[in-house]
Amino acid sequence: MRLLFVGDVVGRSGRQAVEDHLSSLRRRLKADFVVLNGENAAGGFGITEEIFNSFRDHGADVVTLGNHAWDQREVLVFIERAPELIRPVNYPKGTPGKGAGLFETAHGARVLVMNVMGVAKMEPLGDPFAAVEEQLGACPLGEAADAIIVDMHAELTSEKMAMGHFCDGRASLVVGTHTHVPTADTHVLPGGTAYQTDAGMTGDYDSVIGMDKAEPLNRFTRRIPSGRFEPAAGEATLCGVLVETDDRTGLAVRAGGVRVGGRLQEALPDWASS
C-alpha cells in the first residue's frame, strides 16, 4: 500500500497548491490513502468546513489539525459531523471531535490515523506518548489496522524523533508537522516505521514559515507588533512524504520526500513511478 502525507497547508496559496496538484499527484504516485494537515489553511489559522470539504474533494482522505485547531470557531461544531477531521488525541476528554480514526481505502485496507501534539514549548496537554500508546494498543498494526499513520505536531525535533522511535515497529509512518520546513531525514527506522522529522508546509516559501515577511521581520527587529500575521501569497510548494508498506505486516518498505510546485526544487521518490 502507498500512503501519502501532505504537510501543513498555509493560507490561500497553500490551498491553491492542493487544488492544482493533489489529485494528479495522487494518481501519479499511485497513492492508496492521503492524509493532509490543514490546521493553518484558513488565513494561516485554523480550518473551516468549506476548506475541509475542498481538501476532501481534491483527494485527501483525512485531514489532521494541531495547535490552531480551534482558531476558527465553527470547527467546534462541524468536527462532530466530520469523522475524517482529526484533532490532537491528547486533548482532554470531552473535547469535540476525535484524535484518531480507523478508515478504509478503496481496496478495503484499514488505516489508523492519529494526530498528537507535543508538549515541549507547546500547550500543556496530556502526555503524547501515553495517548499514542493507548491508540496503538487498541488498534495494533497487522491485526486491527493494515497501516498506521501518526502525525506528530510538535516544536522540538527531539520530541518528534523520540516519538518515531517510540512507535518503531508499531506504525507505518511517524511524520512531524508544525515547524513548516521539510527535513532531509526521510528514512525507515530499524523496526520498520517510516520517519521524517517534518513534512514541510504546503505554502509560499518566500516567507517566514508561510507568513508574509514584513510583520515577522518587524517583530524580530523592532520587538513591537505593528499588525496581524498574514499568509504569504506567492506560489506554494506542496510538500510531504510518500511511504510504501508491506501488505503483510503494514510496516514501511521504503519512503521518500515529496515536493511539487513553487520555489523549492521538485522532488519525488525515484521508485514512485514503478
Going by C-beta distance under 8 Å and a sequence separation of 6 or more, which residues neighbour residue 224?
Answer: 218
pLDDT at 25: 97
Q: Is 149 helix (H, G, I), strand (E, B) or coil?
A: strand
| Nine-digit cell string for 181 | 520546513
Q: Count other Cβ atoms within 10 Å, centred on residue 157.
A: 14
Helices (H), 44-127: 49-57, 75-78
User: Measured at the alpha carbon of residue 35, what is the angle toward residues 145 and 115, in degrees to the nearest 5?
Assistant: 70
Q: Is residue 269 included in any domain, yes or no?
A: no
Domain membership flag for residue 266: no
The CATH code of the domain that includes 64 is: 3.60.21.10
- Alpha-helix runs per DSSP H in 102-209: 128-138, 157-167
Q: Is residue 270 part of a domain?
A: no
Beta strand 238-245 with 2-6 is antiparallel
Query: Residue 219 domain-assigned?
Result: yes
Q: Is residue 221 part of a domain?
A: yes
Dihedrals phi, psi of 203, to nearest 5 degrees: -170, -175
Q: What is the pLDDT of residue 156?
A: 98
Give average pLDDT by consecutive 10-residue segment, the chain, 274 residues.
98 98 97 98 98 98 98 96 98 97 97 98 96 98 98 98 98 98 98 98 98 96 94 98 98 98 97 85
Asked if residue 204 is part of any domain, the answer here is yes
Backbone angles phi, psi at 71, to 5 degrees: -65, -30
Does some domain include residue 184? yes
Judge whether 265 lies within some domain.
Answer: no
Active-site pick, 21, 68, 178, 180: 68
Question: Which residues span the domain enclosing 55?
Answer: 2-260
Beta bridge partners of 244: 2, 254
pLDDT number for residue 274: 76
Owner of C-alpha cell 513534512? 199
Contacts of 12 (CB under 8 A, 6+ apart): 43, 231, 233
pTM given for the model: 0.98
User: How confident is the model at residue 236, as a pLDDT?
Assistant: 98
Overall number of domains in the chain: 1
Q: How far is CA 5 from CA 72, 119, 148, 156, 212, in A?
A: 23, 22, 12, 20, 25
Q: In what order do the strands lie in the sheet with 110-117?
A: 100-104, 110-117, 147-153, 173-177, 194-196, 187-188
Q: Which three cell numbers stand for residue 136?
A: 496503538
68 is a catalytic site residue: yes
Q: Cell 493560507: give the residue.
A: 11
Give 74's contacts (C-beta < 8 A, 6+ positions apart).
Answer: 48, 49
